[in-house]
Amino acid sequence: MDETTIGKLDSELKRHYGEEKIQRKVLADGTVAFKIAAAELPEGCNPGRVDALLFFQGGNGSPQVFVRQQVKLANGRIARNQTNVIFDGEPWVSFSANFLYDVSKPIWYFVGGKLRRFAQPD
């Protein structure tokens, strides 16, 4: 992923979430990660906000979204298909969500779509 694309993604995320909530990191293997502090989850989720990680493996393809901790749905259950992962030495939780990445839309739209997965009862 080139620096222009990374900069565009960074700008879109900062405009949507606030400059102070976004941290960017590019790893030696080309992986690009954006940490989003206190991203809002759907109403009724516990917690209501969670740190999220937007992760472009090798800098290409469809990104993944992780959250800092397991999420309980409005019905009190822990969302299924959550898996603990380590990224850059930090623990994160991966989760399944059927929301496709569309490069024609702002990146925050994709992040929000993935996080709306927690609005679905399990």
Distances (CA, A) of 95 to 4, 49, 83, 99, 111: 29, 16, 6, 12, 13
Return the pLDDT at 37. Answer: 97
Return the pLDDT at 67. Answer: 95
Q: How many CB atoms lie within 10 A of CB 114?
A: 23
Contact 89, 71 (CB under 8 A): no
What burial class does residue 17 get, using C-beta atoms within 10 Å of its C-beta: 0-12 exposed, 13-18 middle, 19+ buried? buried
* Rounded Cα gap, residues 48 and 28, in angstroms: 34
pLDDT tens by residue, 40-98: 999 999 999 999 999 998 766 789 999 998 899 988 888 878 888 888 888 999 888 88
Domain ranges of the chain: 3-119
The answer, as to whether pTM is greater than 0.85, is yes
